[in-house]
Amino acid sequence: MYRRILAAVNEYSNSELAARYAISLAHACQAKLTLIFVAAQGMDLTLIRQAEAALERLFLEAAAKNLEVESIIKRGEALPHISAVVRENEIDLAFSATRHEDVSRRYFTRTVARKLMLNLPCSVALVRVVHPGQLFPQNILVPFRGRPPHLEEKAFFVGKLAEAFSAAVTLFHAPEPISRFFADLRRGKPPAPEKHIPHEIDRFLNYLEKFRISPQHRLGLGPAGRAITLEAALQRHDLIIMGASERGLWESLISRDPVEEVLRETPCNLIILLPRLKRP
Amino acid sequence: MNIHALSRQEVLKALMTSEAGLSQAEARSRLKEYGLNQITEARKTPLYFRFLKQFTHFLAVLLWLAAVLCFVSEYLRPGEGLLSLGLAIVGVIIINAVFTFIQEYRAERALAALKALLPFNVKVVREGRQREIPAREVVPGDLFLLEAGDKVPADGRLIEANRLMVNNAPLTGESEPKPRVADPFAGGYLESPNLVFAGTLAVSGSGLAVASATGMATEFGKIAHLTSGVEPDLSPLQKEIFRVTRIVAAIAVTLGILFFTLGFFIGRSFWHNFLFAIGIIIANVPEGLLPTVTLSLAIGSQRMASRKALIKNLNSVETLGSVTVICSDKTGTLTENRMELRRIWVPEAQAEEGEYARTMLLTVAGLCNNAKFVEGAFLGDPTEVALLRAAREHGGIRGERLQEIPFDPERKLMTTVDRVGGETLVLTKGALESVLPLCQLVAAGSQSVPLDDRQQKNIQAAYQDLMDEGLRVMAFAFKKLAASSAEHAETEKDAEDLEKGLIFTGLAGLEDPPRPEVAEAIHRCREAGIRVIMITGDAGRTAVAVARQVGLTESEPLVIQGPELVKMSDEELKQRLATKNIIFARMTPRLKMRIVSVLKEAGERIAVTGDGVNDAPALKRADIGIAMGVTGTDVAREAADMVLLDDNFATIVNAIEEGRAVFENIRKFISYIFASNIPEIVPYIAYVLFSIPLPLTIMQILAVDLGTDLFPALGLGAEKPAPRIMKQPPRGPEEKLLNFGILARAYLFLGPIEAAAGLFGFFYVLHLGGWQWGEMLPGSAPLYLQATTACLAGIIVTQIANVFACRSFSESVFSLGMFSNRLILFGIASEILIGSFIVYHPWGQRIFGTAPLAAHVWLMLAPFAVALLLAEETRKLVARRWLTAARGS
């Protein structure tokens, strides 16, 4: 499914760590890897050298795994250059990193990560590394919500990444109850979450079975973002793979956006996948 | 591979750092990437949401309904004064919400201030140089140094470890320090001995680690996430207020519908009946209850704060009063959390010979020891600190360390070779079962005698004696190295060689002494029917000894150890918990959580103490989570309902006393407030049934509920705990805040007297004004205004007597002392002032539709106050006699 994977690298250590996930996935998919660094106009020379050094380290790491790898350095604005490379090289999936500074903004607006996510003409995996000491996941948490788009691609991504690290996978579903605002007035038992398991989960499981993965199932209750964070902390997951939010800005303002919440408070490393792949 | 399985160079590469550490610029950049190394308050409900919640609890909803009814009535029948009434009710809701919110916010800030008191610095290596930076600025990739006494600032992988021991108790609850090494580990991440975790403590040795995770990504942070996942139950008071408001709502609506229907059959118009029904409902809703409860809880929380207990949530004040079980830690709560050498035992010898053995024992204790005395403070493992302190007090023998075989938990031994006054000595300390087999001789004066069976028996007997006293026992031995061996002492010698043929010199018993005030506090708990269960991570024997010293147990207690509890089913545990004297030893926080859950299922109301981060879920699960303010972690303090500012068990008992007093006080002012409902309802009933002018307007009802009643009720809320309050068992779950007795006393006994006073005043003024039965007066007629004012005055006068009557349910007010609660006197003064304003000030008259009363009207009403007080004193006398007779039989 993924024949060409791109990893955007910059002067931050986070991007190098994120690119290591790209190397592992490319290795598992036998995909060609493109590493790219776009130096902004007027960027400090020390920072450029730092990013170049990261690019070199990653290149050597990928080459050591016998991957077909190329590295590109450009000067200018990140989005147009990366978009052009994605089009020219027919990239299927691009990895980009986000960091604390980005997620402290609401909906990480005006960040390169968001621009790439919204505008690249390929699938995008946005990586947030909070635990550099646990880059090799052993226990991946995959939150599942009703009717996710590009189900097959998401299953492929999860399956291949789990395969790359020989990691166990846990599917997690947390139906969101009605507002607890009038908690004092409400009485009775909490709703049974089993009733709310989406049917699409069976299709997702079928896809995962192709990778000989039989995930654990777990159910949570409560606001999705909170439930996911708690589950990851409680079960000591070392990676969360979530689908990107499809909520618009207004919808996110009115009701909470679980993706944004998890992005902000994740207790372990996190990948947010926006699947856009057209071909199987 | 993850970092615990990598070699030193691979670790540095994986975390993108070097032997020289990060550069300052890179550290700044990583701070932007990962954020500050701090535990954020996980998933806190936003402030605005918490403020809004103050408007949506049941009593507030009831008041909103009353306000809406007023606005609807004003819209349909303008000019009846219902707009002002509606606005006044909305005002009550807002004032109460703001007040409650401010109280809780202040408690939270106080907690934040406590947190701010505890910043700490850490030594890091950056650009090849050692620097000291605030711990919150540590970033992944930073190299940080650890020495004895240092708090670990972040999760890290050790790349150097020199006899490093860490105490993981804040994270795992295990109080025994664990050795740490720098070698790669092939097993699981959490079990890896080459990792150190944020929030834990280095107790001895030193090390260099690379930070691998900071802030909320650390193991400490993960547990902080979990605390937000435990949903606290409604507090008993919240449940009771919920119940009381439902009863009040039911009474109000039933009466409203009943009299609406009655009016319909009598032939009154729809609007007349509708307004009347609203009046009845408003008269029944105790508008003043909410602010009075809130203020009473606030007063309770202030009093507790002055007794070193910081309450975070107002409702917890009363919950404390209903506690039936306290699950208490041992270390730091019942004891002082410092080791102390209590007894030294040396083998049988003559006095001066014994002195030699004692000196040698203290020489071993002082020199075979890694604790330090730096700038007037002892640093290191608490046991070693206690030994070093004792050695220094004995004269502080100096020596030069030549060699050390570090303490090994497997061998339970530590040995050093020291040069002391020209002699080279091998000094060994450790567990008796490890030291004794290495000894061939026993110190007996300056000579040594062979360690024969008799000596062995003596030593074992002394060891048992010390253990039975609950002391932690250590054995000491030494030997002199021969001159030829001494020459090579600086070279590494095999442990086996060095520790051969030692001379046994004695035993030392150490303990963490109990806090002096705890025994009295436990005695008070026993009198108050509260069970105290010790749950400790320490061994059973130590726990039993401390329990005996503080009076927690007199007979032989049932001791359940951690491994035993793991195998036990919940049902078995429930049965064991029924045992009177029970102690849980070698417990982990997870097992503690299980005990709390089983006790809760058994219907107990539990207060749980805790200080570690892993205690946080249990603190949330308990009815009252109590965190230690001094030694507790931020996470524990965040999860708790109450924070002990002095970590002292006795403070918990003081807080329980205050909590019980708060419940009693709430009952007292409920009784007081509800009594005035009857003189507010009866005039309406009389108005409908007997076709008389309405004796009390809705605004005048509000003047009582939110004006004159408020401050005396607050005075009742501030009554100090009665001495007997801690001599009676905790109230059971079936014991309600509002029961038939209280309702009957208010509605059927005190209320009718007040109603009689009000109606008497009303008819007295009408009679003086020449009113004839059946005559209807216009609402603005001076006579009518004066008559309703007299009805209001009747209620005010009798409520003054009632506030004294309500100070106790059974004790005579004269035995309590008329002036013992100054707030009540202040409340009565306020009541008189507000009443005078309503009756005599033109603004008061305009707002409440009143007219000035002549002095003789007040004089005519005064006997009702006296009658109420006398009637209540008679009832109390009968009640007391009945109680005495019941107890006697």
**B840-869 pLDDT, tens per residue?**
999 999 888 899 999 999 999 999 999 999
Q: What are phi and psi of A167, to 5 degrees?
A: -100, 155
Chain B positions touching A99 (Cβ under 8 A) are 32-34
Give the 3-state secondary structure of residue B158. Answer: strand
B31: closest CA of chain A, how far (Å) = 8
A34: closest CA of chain B, how far (Å) = 21
Pair (B571, B457) in one structural domain: no
Q: Where are the alpha helices (DSSP H) in B625-709?
A: 634-639, 649-675, 677-690, 698-703
Residue B558's CATH number = 3.40.50.1000
Pair (B28, B55) in one structural domain: no
Pair (B442, B456) in one structural domain: yes
Is the model's pTM score more than 0.80?
no
Pair (B271, B386) in one structural domain: no
Please indicate, yes or no, if residue B879 is contained in any of the structural domains. Answer: yes
Q: Which of B614, B638, B654 is the last residue of a domain?
A: B654
Q: Which of A16, A46, A133 sits opposite B3 (nearest CB)?
A: A133
Q: Which of B181, B213, B245 is the last residue of a domain?
A: B213
d(CA B392, CA B398): 10
Q: In sequence order, what are the beta bridge partners of A243?
A: A273
Cβ–Cβ below 8 Å for B16 and A132: yes
Q: Which of B506, B533, B550 is the last residue of a domain?
A: B506
Give the 3-state secondary structure of residue B807. Answer: coil
Burial B504-531 (b: 16+ CB within 10 A, else e): bbbbbbbbbebbeebbebbebbeebebb
pLDDT at B54: 77
The residues of chain A that CATH labels 3.40.50.620 are 1-129, 130-270+276-280
The residues of chain B scoring below 50 in pLDDT are 117-118, 351
Chain B positions touching A236 (Cβ under 8 A) are 190, 222
pLDDT at B243: 75
Give which of B223, B137, B214, B31 is closest to A132, Cα–Cα.
B214
CA distances for B673 relative to B55, B287, B318, B645, B789, angstroms = 22, 9, 19, 36, 20
Q: DSSP characters for B520-563?
A: HHHHHHHHTT-EEEEE-SS-HHHHHHHHHHTTS-SSPPEEEEHH
Chain B positions touching A132 (Cβ under 8 A) are 14-16, 140-141, 212-213
Cβ within 8 Å of residue B13, ≥6 positions away? none
Number of domains in chain B: 4
Instruction: Estimate the crossing angle of helix A151-165 against helix A13-29, to 10 degrees.
Output: 100
Residue B268's CATH number = 1.20.1110.10
Pair (B601, B489) in one structural domain: no
Please indicate, yes or no, if residue B42 is contained in any of the structural domains. Answer: no
Cβ–Cβ below 8 Å for B29 and A134: no
d(CA B188, CA B166): 19
For A23-82, the pLDDT digits (tens) are 999 999 999 999 999 998 888 888 899 899 999 999 999 999 999 999 999 998 888 999
pLDDT at A180: 44
Which of A9, A57, A134, A180 is the best residue to mutate to test the B interface, defined by the most B CB atoms within 10 Å of its own CB? A134
**Cβ atoms A131, B217 nearer than 8 A:** yes
* Cβ contacts from A onto B, under 8 A: 104
Please indicate, yes or no, if residue B201 is contained in any of the structural domains. Answer: yes
Q: Average model confidence (pLDDT) for chain A?
A: 82
B28: closest CA of chain A, how far (Å) = 11
pLDDT at A178: 46
CA distances for B479 relative to B450, B499, B503, angstroms = 14, 9, 6
Please indicate, yes or no, if residue B310 is contained in any of the structural domains. Answer: yes
Pair (B375, B451) in one structural domain: yes
d(CA B661, CA B819): 19
Q: Dihedral, CA atoms, B633, B101, B216, B27, nearest 10 degrees?
A: -100
Pair (B589, B719) in one structural domain: no
Indicate which residue of B329, B512, B538, B611 is catalytic.
B329
Give which of A258, A273, A279, A276 is closest to A18, Cα–Cα.
A273
Amino acid at B304: M
ipTM of the complex: 0.84
Q: Dihedral, CA atoms, B574, B576, B580, B582, nearest 10 degrees?
A: -110
DSSP B749: I
Chain A positions touching B61 (Cβ under 8 A) are 185
Tokens 């109603």, residue located: B755
Pair (B362, B423) in one structural domain: yes
Residue A263 has pLDDT above 80, yes or no: yes
Chain B positions touching A266 (Cβ under 8 A) are 217
- Enclosing domain of residue B622: 319-337+515-654
Cβ–Cβ below 8 Å for A12 and B29: yes
Give which of A33, A47, A107, A114 is closest to A78, Cα–Cα.
A114
Q: Which CATH class is domain A130-270+276-280?
A: alpha beta
pLDDT at A181: 39
pLDDT at B196: 93
Please indicate, yes or no, if residue B134 is contained in any of the structural domains. Answer: no
Pair (B673, B648) in one structural domain: no
pLDDT at B503: 92
Which of A100, A112, A221, A260 is the best residue to mutate to test the B interface, defined by the most B CB atoms within 10 Å of its own CB? A100
Please indicate, yes or no, if residue B113 is contained in any of the structural domains. Answer: no
Which of A60, A106, A130, A261 is the best residue to mutate to test the B interface, defined by the most B CB atoms within 10 Å of its own CB? A130
Please indicate, yes or no, if residue B148 is contained in any of the structural domains. Answer: yes
d(CA B96, CA B357): 72
Pair (B302, B357) in one structural domain: no
Cβ–Cβ below 8 Å for A265 and B141: no
pLDDT at B857: 93
Cβ–Cβ below 8 Å for A230 and B190: no
H or E element: which one contains A88? helix A78-88
Structure tokens at B289: 């209850």
Q: Which CATH class is domain A1-129?
A: alpha beta
**How big is the CA angle at B167 (ends A233 and B431), to the nearest 5 degrees?**
140
Average pLDDT over residues A225-238: 84
Please indicate, yes or no, if residue B730 is contained in any of the structural domains. Answer: no
At A109, the pLDDT band (50, 70, 90 cuts) reads: low
Structure tokens at B332: 């730091």
d(CA A36, CA A54): 11
Pair (B170, B312) in one structural domain: no
Pair (B299, B403) in one structural domain: no
| Integer Rg of chain A from CA | 19
CB atoms closer than 10 angstroms to residue A21: 25
Residue A185 has pLDDT above 70, yes or no: no
Tokens 């919400």, residue located: B97
Chain B positions touching A268 (Cβ under 8 A) are 217
CA distances for B852 relative to A119, B166, B234, B704, B834, angstroms = 79, 79, 48, 17, 14
Residue A193 has pLDDT above 60, yes or no: no
- State yes or no: is B329 an active-site residue: yes
Cβ–Cβ below 8 Å for B58 and A184: yes
Give which of B835, B828, B833 is closest to B793, Cα–Cα.
B835
Which stretches of A99-236 are assigned E, i.e. beta strand?
A: 123-128, 139-143, 168-173, 216-219
Structure tokens at B781: 């007629």
Q: What are phi and psi of A94, to 5 degrees?
A: -115, 135
Tokens 């909170």, residue located: A226
For B267-288, the pLDDT digits (tens) are 777 777 777 777 777 767 766 6
